[in-house]
Amino acid sequence: MRFEEFAYMRWAKTRGQEGTHRLTSSSMPEVSAADLVLSARDLVLGPDDYDRPTEISALVAAHYGVPAESVLVTASASYATALAFLALLEPGDEVLVETPVYPNLRILPGLAGATVRALPRRFERGFAVDAEELRSLLTERTRLVALTNLHNPSGVRLADAVLDQCAQAAAEAGAHLFVDEVYLDMAGGARTSFRAGENRIAVSSATKAYGLGGLRVGWLFAPPALVERALRLNDLFVVHPPFPSARIACRIFERQDEFQRRIREVIGRARPVLDRFMAERPDLEWVAPEHGILAFPRLRGVADSAPFLERLLGERGVNLTPGSFFGAPAHFRVAFGRAPDLLAEALRRLGAALDELQAAARPSA
């Protein structure tokens, strides 16, 4: 089978781990076993339900207000995305995918033989989605519209009203609206875009907002018939999520107030550091996100930030994610959910490198 390599993920696992000041990890800081106060019950190796993990499924359904028959707990949000795409798409279908985009949303449709068309989320419009432009891009072959909210890589949140308009436009074309919501729980009080009885699909996980990436637990919200088809497809692959992981992930919902407090504290300490830095940098421009720990600045006057980022890493130990992975090479992604002192030092080094870049660009006297 031919497939496009997920170049970003290969980079994230290798080059993305380099440097002394890494701002590449887009998750909240990892939660430790000590933080979770695990008991022997959390480490039971057997299932509470071999078909669908009952306890975590019930907690997910209750927390997000989604009917139980529309919930499938899976081994990560990426896997939930793959199940949804493979369960829904056929060869010859079209998928309308936002750009800039987290690359797996652009790559995965090809596994089902579908083709991808781009839905622009333009920097000049604050990375918003224009529902009327979306409508104009739909064709009789469009089966799915794929978005992220909070947007990866910019962190921008889509308003519920915009998502409603997108879902309506997709429905009129006989398509579904898919929303990757792995960062949405960083926006306190936000609710899932999934609505029972409509043409909507959403995925999320324990990874990004909750710092539990090692569990590999995610969930899919979809119409019941699609959930059932994804469940049957899942039988071909991992069968069920890891049983201990599913049990440990229950802590997210049993201790939701604590997790939300942690999210607010991490962002509350880090965000002012980034805001001050950006206010002092006329050579950078950005859309300041309201929520989350991602930002996607653009380097003025440069078509591709990658050579600068390579020098920044090699000479100063600061690692940032090149925008080329997301289809916007002049940009770079900053994952700023780090300790304030590490973040401040990384940004200081970035500023010094930018000063050198600007000095080199000035004509000599």
Q: How many structural domains compose the chain?
A: 2
pLDDT above 60 for 257:
yes
- 159, 243: one domain: yes
Give residue-wise pLDDT tens across range 306-317.
999 999 999 999
> What's the pTM value of the predicted model, to 2 decimals?
0.95
Q: Give me the chain's average pLDDT, please.
A: 95
Residues 116-168: tens digit of each pLDDT:
999 999 999 999 999 999 999 999 999 999 999 999 999 999 999 999 999 99
Each as own residue / partner, the long-range contacts of residues 230-239 (CB below 8 Å, 24 or more positions apart, any chain) are 230/72, 230/80, 230/83, 230/84, 230/87, 231/51, 231/52, 231/72, 233/83, 233/86, 233/87, 234/72, 234/74, 234/83, 237/79, 238/74, 238/75, 238/79
Residues 168 and 240 in one domain: yes
Residue at a domain's end among 210, 234, 254 = 254
The answer to whether residue 365 scores a pLDDT higher than 60 is: no
Inside any domain, residue 329: yes
- Asked if residue 101 is part of any domain, the answer here is yes
Per-residue pLDDT band at 364 (split at 50, 70, 90): low
Domain assignment present for 31: no
The pLDDT of residue 39 is 78
What digits encode the pLDDT tens for the residues 17-56? 999 999 999 999 998 877 788 877 777 777 777 777 789 9
Report yes or no on 362 lying in a domain: no
Residues 168, 250 within the same domain: yes
Residue range 92-109, pLDDT digits in tens = 999 999 999 999 999 999
Parent domain of 297: 7-26+257-356
